[in-house]
Amino acid sequence: MSEQTVALRVRPEALARPVRGFWEDAFLRLIRNKAAVLGGIIVITLIFVAIFADYIAPYSYSEQSLVDNNAVPAWMLKVFPTIRGYARINNKYLLGADYVGRDLLSRIIYGTRISLTVAFIGPLISLLIGTIYGSISGYFGGRIDNIMMRLVDVLYAFPGLLFIILLMAFFRSTLTRLTPGTFAYYVGQLDAKMGGMLFIFIGIGLTAWENMARLTRGQVLSIKEKEFIEAARAIGAGHLRIMFRHILPNVIGPLIVAETLAIPSYISLEAFLSFIGLGVNPPTPSWGLMISEGAGVIRTYPNQAIFPALALAITMFAFNFLGDGLRDAFDPRLRGT
Amino acid sequence: MTRYIVRRLLWTLLVLLVISLITFILMHSVPGGPFDREKAVPPEILANLLAKYHLDEPLYKQYLRYLWDIFIPHISRIPPGSSLTDDHLINIKIGNKLWLKWMNFGPSYSSRSRTVNDYFRQQFPVSAQLGVMAFLVAISIGIPLGILAALKQNTIIDYIGMSIAIFGVSVPVIVLGPILIWIFGVTLKWLPPTGWGAKPPFILGFIPSNLKPEFFKYAIMPSVALGLAQSALIARLTRASLLQVLREDYIRTARAKGLPERTVIFVHALKNSMIPVVTIMGPMFAALVTGTFVTETIFGIPGLGKYFVLSITNRDYPLIMGTILLYALILVLANLLVDITYAFLDPRIRLTD
């Protein structure tokens, strides 16, 4: 009876509309969101800049020219009138040079590499540890769940920022003093090759997975009693198979969206660590490090802090817009949360 | 309710113990000691220093000694503050020349004339003042903005409000700080670019004794820099939550009864929509009070944050432990307060085990 009423109300032209799948639907919702599209374009541009930094940057990020230290281009006198009188003018540097005469623009361009790497690796590590931990906890339940979640509770009570500072200090000082030949020594060498990035990843990995573990556990709990899981168990699938083939694909969507929304926090975490001197090793150009160096001379040479700060802000904007758009596209009910 | 709180406090104690243990192990496994200098200290002096601070004992003994000093109250005849190794945070006179003393966080290794408690008394209040001011900024911008955006949903006001919110989330302190200093401190010269307007002693150990415009002149830029991102989070959450509550049946009932729209929103809807907002306020408050390192560095504020970073590089073990425990305590207590607030906001939530 009710089915009939519904059928009668359907307009014929609506029936002719092509049926769209979940992904297609989400994609269409995404590209209708102007802010998200703008964010996406900026992110793609940044990726492009990061990959081809060698060709785009006018100079090397570490090349010093001490005669040009703190030099500014002529156009900057109009923007920052206070620096007239003492600043050394050199139009060779588009955004000026820093305290040892390195080109700011080139350093900002190379800096995208650090921020973007963190933006992609950070969520990946957190997702990997968090989903495995959360799946095990939620799937097995009972005492295992209880113990595993209490551990997360304890880590949750650890002041996160302090913990990561402590970890970074630990890594920095331990692995620089090791005897050659040991495993830790090679890890230290690898980190030095990556300009100090490896430890940032480990630090993020050790501190950022707790939220993801909680979220995964909640999702797994809600899905593990469903009929298709019971069916899988009935035909003799093992725990691992059920967890990773049947449950995980059904819960991964919201987790990825949550991680996308967390990307700006990873970017600012790296900038923060580099700012206080526990992030990348100089001369690797990180925006956080550049802002820290620039903040010291903000009264005399404001350009040295403001341009890296703008680069960081624009990147954060882009990822925030894109993340919001993705969330709305995949789950329209959550719009604006 | 009482049982619940007692249970939670016991859990807090356990959490603090575990945290102190992790921190203790972590900091002692970092190579280098508190008395390493560029020019090596003569072995006899080093041995004396180590003996003075009990660093020559086995680690488990040092750990137990530390716990004993901070957790167990002592009764003593020695007047408080007579030596650097006998400085307690809480001193209660219980009789003639008899004091009950509790929480001795030990001497600082890097500053030979100060104890960790001195840092708690002089530096921590500054960080806390900054954190509280930033929290006030976050609430007073975030909640009105969120309510406004929700009530005018899908209008230009909503879009502008939410754009401001995204702007706020996207601009971290290390970006906003230098820009604010440059605009208001250097170019316009409206506000002092760096520094802090309050000095110890503080009223109740926390409130600045000179709450004059001068204090706020110093406080306004760092508070905004620190609080703006949080205000954006609060605004987004308030908006979303209020929108959800406004669709509930009891709101329709309230309107059907003929209540004025103002009553419906501010009495019926707002109270319930605050539950998720209050949830994040606990960790947010703790994060603001504890996470002021960058703001303090940029604005040259003499808070605890700078000394925490320094304490790690100096291997100042008591200061590392003290700061982490203090901040962890704030974090767990803030979360406990949030859970208790729930019960008042929503009578359906009962605090049981």
Task: Give chain B positions within 8 Å (CB) of A118.
Answer: none
By C-alpha distance, the chain A residue nearest B332 is A157
Separation between Cα atoms, residue A16 and residue B93, nearest integer Å: 86
Q: Do B237 and A291 touch (CB under 8 A)?
A: no
CA distance B238 to chain A (A): 9
The size of the A-B interface in CB pairs under 8 A is 138
Separation between Cα atoms, residue A106 and residue B197, nearest integer Å: 39
Would you place residue A46 in the very low, low, confident or very high pLDDT band (cuts 50, 70, 90)?
A: very high
CA distance B72 to chain A (A): 22
CB nearest to B179's CB, from A177, A309, A324:
A309
Task: Give chain A positions within 8 Å (CB) of B277.
Answer: none
Q: What pLDDT was estimated at residue B312?
A: 81
Separation between Cα atoms, residue B274 and residue B79, nearest integer Å: 48
Task: Give chain B positions within 8 Å (CB) of A174.
Answer: 29-31
Q: Write the pLDDT tens digit of every residue in A52-102.
A: 888 887 777 777 777 777 777 777 777 777 777 777 777 777 777 887 778
By C-alpha distance, the chain B residue nearest A304 is B178
Q: Residues 6 or more apart from A56 whose CB is under 8 A from it? A: A49, A109
- Residue B338 in contact with residue B278, Cβ under 8 Å? yes
Q: What pLDDT was estimated at residue B353?
A: 44
Q: Do A158 and B309 touch (CB under 8 A)?
A: no
Q: What pLDDT was estimated at residue B140?
A: 93
By C-alpha distance, the chain A residue nearest B14 is A154
CA distance B153 to chain A (A): 10
Task: Give chain B positions within 8 Å (CB) of A321.
Answer: 166
What average pLDDT does the segment A188-199 reach? 76
Interface of B with A in 289-328 (CB under 8 A): 290-291, 293-294, 297-298, 308-309, 312-313, 320, 323-324, 327-328
What average pLDDT does the segment B188-196 reach? 83
- Residue B94 dihedral angles phi and psi, to the nearest 5°: -115, 5
CB nearest to B178's CB, from A153, A165, A298:
A298
Mean pLDDT of chain B: 83
Q: Write the pLDDT tens digit of every residue in B255-297.
A: 888 888 888 888 888 888 888 888 788 878 887 887 677 888 8
Topology of the domain comprising A30-334 = MetI-like fold (1.10.3720)
Q: What single DSSP character describes residue A73?
A: -
Q: Write the pLDDT tens digit of every residue in B120-139.
A: 888 888 888 899 999 999 99
**Residue A269 pLDDT exceeds 60:** yes
Q: Write the pLDDT tens digit of every residue in A114-171.
A: 889 888 888 898 889 999 999 998 888 888 888 888 888 888 777 777 778 878 777 7
Q: What single DSSP character describes residue B90?
A: E
Q: Residues 6 or more apart from B189 whose CB is under 8 A from it? A: none
By C-alpha distance, the chain B residue nearest A290 is B174
Q: Considering just the CA atoms, what is the radius of gyration of chain B in Å?
A: 24
A330-to-A28, A169, A263, B100 alpha-carbon distances in Å: 10, 40, 17, 60
Q: Do A306 and B320 touch (CB under 8 A)?
A: no
Would you place residue B112 in the very low, low, confident or very high pLDDT band (cuts 50, 70, 90)?
A: confident
Buried/exposed code over B113-133 (b: 16+ C-beta within 10 A; e: otherwise): ebbbbbbbbbbbbbbbbbbbb
Q: Is B26 on the interface with A (CB under 8 A)?
A: yes
Separation between Cα atoms, residue A270 and residue A288, nearest integer Å: 7
Task: Give chain B positions within 8 Å (CB) of A310.
Answer: 175
- Mutation target to probe the A interface, by most A beta carbons within 10 A, among B16, B180, B294 is B294
Neighbours of A249 (CB within 10 A): 9
Task: Give chain B positions within 8 Å (CB) of A275.
Answer: 174, 294, 297
Would you place residue B41 in the very low, low, confident or very high pLDDT band (cuts 50, 70, 90)?
A: confident
DSSP structure string for B299-310: HT--SHHHHHHH
For the sheet with B98-102, list strands across it: B74-76, B98-102, B90-95
CA distance B287 to chain A (A): 8
pTM of the model: 0.82
What average pLDDT does the segment A292-306 reach? 82
Q: Do B236 and A299 touch (CB under 8 A)?
A: no
Q: What pLDDT was estimated at residue A48?
A: 92
Q: Write the pLDDT tens digit of every residue in B64-104.
A: 988 888 888 888 887 777 777 777 877 788 878 888 888 88
**Residue A15 pLDDT exceeds 60:** no
Would you place residue A2 in the very low, low, confident or very high pLDDT band (cuts 50, 70, 90)?
A: very low
Q: Do A159 and B327 touch (CB under 8 A)?
A: yes
State CA B125 to chain mean position distance.
10
Would you kindly state where each structural domain of chain A is located, as residue ranges?
Answer: 30-334
Nearest CA to A61 among A302, A289, A296? A289
- Residue B128 in contact with residue B207, Cβ under 8 Å? no
- Mutation target to probe the A interface, by most A beta carbons within 10 A, among B23, B25, B148, B175 is B175
- Mutation target to probe the B interface, by most B beta carbons within 10 A, among A84, A155, A162 is A162
CA distance B96 to chain A (A): 41
Would you place residue A286 in the very low, low, confident or very high pLDDT band (cuts 50, 70, 90)?
A: confident
Separation between Cα atoms, residue B246 and residue B152, nearest integer Å: 12
Q: Write the pLDDT tens digit of every residue in A315-332.
A: 998 998 888 888 778 765
